[in-house]
Structure 1
Amino acid sequence: MVEGRRSDRRKKPKRRWLKISLVVILVLVLGVGAYAYSIYHNAKQTVNEKMHQTVDSIDHNDGKKKINAEKPLNILLLGVDKRAGDRGRSDALMVLSMEPKKDKMKLISIPRDTRAEIVGKGREDKINHAYAYGGTDMSIATVENFLNVELDYYVEMNMEGLSKMVDAVGGITVNNELEWYDEGYYKKGYHYEKGKITLDGPQAMGYVRMRHLDPNGDFGRTKRQRQVIEAIIDKGASIASVNKIDDMIDVLGNNMATNLDFDDMKNLLFNYKDVRKNVVRYMMEGNGTKIGGTYYLIVPDSEIAKVHDMIVK
Structure 2
Amino acid sequence: MKKRKWPYWVGGILLALLLIGGGFAWYVWDKIHDTVGDMHEPLDRDQDPERQKEIKDIFKDKKSLNVLLLGVDERDGDKGRSDTMILMSLNPNTNSMKMLSIPRDTYVNIPGRGMDKINHAYAFGDVELSVQTVEEAFDLPVHFYGKVNMEGFEQGVDVLGGVNINNKMEFTQDGINFPVGEIHLNGEEALSYVRMRKSDPQGDMGRNERQRAVITAAMNEAASFTSITKVGDILEILGDNVNTDLQMKNIQNLFSNYLGTRANIETMQISGSGQIIGSIWYYIVPDSEFNRISTEIKAHMEAK
TM-score (norm 2): 0.91
| Aligned residue in 2 for 1:300 | 286
Q: Is 2:42 the counterpart of 1:54?
A: yes
Counterpart secondary structure, 1:212: coil
Give the Cα–Cα distance (whole angstroms) in 1 for the partners of residues 78 and 274 of structure 2.
27
| Aligned residue in 1 for 2:214 | 228
Match for residue 271 of structure 2 among 285, 289, 300: 285
Q: Which moved more, 1:234-243 or 1:293-302?
A: 234-243
What's the % identity of the aligned pairs?
40
8 Å contact 1:57–1:141 — kept in the other structure?
no
Alignment of 1:84-233 (within 5 A): 84-121=76-113, 123-182=114-173, 184=174, 189-233=175-219
Q: Is 2:31 the counterpart of 1:42?
A: yes
Look up the equivalent residue of 1:55 and give its one-letter code.
L
CA shift, 1:20, in A, is 4.3
Residues 211-265 of structure 1 deviation map (CA, whole Å, 9 limit, x = unaligned): 1111111111111111221222111111433332211111010011100011110
8 Å contact 1:113–1:128 — kept in the other structure?
yes
8 Å contact 1:208–1:224 — kept in the other structure?
yes
Alignment of 1:50-89 (within 5 A): 50-58=38-46, 59=48, 61=52, 62-89=54-81
Counterpart secondary structure, 1:216: coil
| Aligned residue in 2 for 1:240 | 226
8 Å contact 2:272–2:284 — kept in the other structure?
yes
Residues 255-276 of structure 1 deviation map (CA, whole Å, 9 limit, x = unaligned): 1110001111001111213222
CA shift, 1:29, in A, is 2.7
8 Å contact 1:109–1:282 — kept in the other structure?
yes
Counterpart secondary structure, 1:97: strand
Unaligned runs of 5+ in 2: 300-304
Counterpart secondary structure, 2:44: coil
Q: Is 2:15 the counterpart of 1:26?
A: yes
Look up the equivalent residue of 1:76 and give its one-letter code.
L
Residues 161-187 of structure 1 deviation map (CA, whole Å, 9 limit, x = unaligned): 1111111212111111111122x3xxx
Give the Cα–Cα distance (whole angstroms) in 1 for the partners of residues 72 and 225 of structure 2.
29
Structure having the higher Rg: 1
Give the Cα–Cα distance (whole angstroms) in 1 for the partners of residues 106 and 65 of structure 2.
24
Q: Which moved more, 1:206-215 or 1:79-88?
A: 79-88
Give the Cα–Cα distance (whole angstroms) in 1 for the partners of residues 32 and 68 of structure 2.
22
8 Å contact 1:116–1:127 — kept in the other structure?
yes
Q: Which moved more, 1:52-61 or 1:112-121?
A: 52-61
Give the Cα–Cα distance (whole angstroms) in 2 for the partners of residues 43 and 135 of structure 1.
26
8 Å contact 1:289–1:295 — kept in the other structure?
yes
Counterpart secondary structure, 2:197: coil
Task: Please tell me the root mean square deviation across aligned C-alpha atoms, in Å.
Answer: 1.8
TM-score (norm 1): 0.89
Counterpart secondary structure, 1:32: helix
Residues 39-76 of structure 1 deviation map (CA, whole Å, 9 limit, x = unaligned): 1110111112x110111245551223311221111111
| Aligned length in residues | 295
Residues 196-219 of structure 1 deviation map (CA, whole Å, 9 limit, x = unaligned): 111111111111111111111111
Give the Cα–Cα distance (whole angstroms) in 1 for the partners of residues 274 and 228 of structure 2.
45
Give the Cα–Cα distance (whole angstroms) in 1 for the partners of residues 246 and 57 of structure 2.
13
Counterpart secondary structure, 2:148: strand
Give the Cα–Cα distance (whole angstroms) in 2 for the partners of residues 57 and 138 of structure 1.
11
8 Å contact 1:63–1:153 — kept in the other structure?
no
Look up the equivalent residue of 2:68 and give its one-letter code.
L
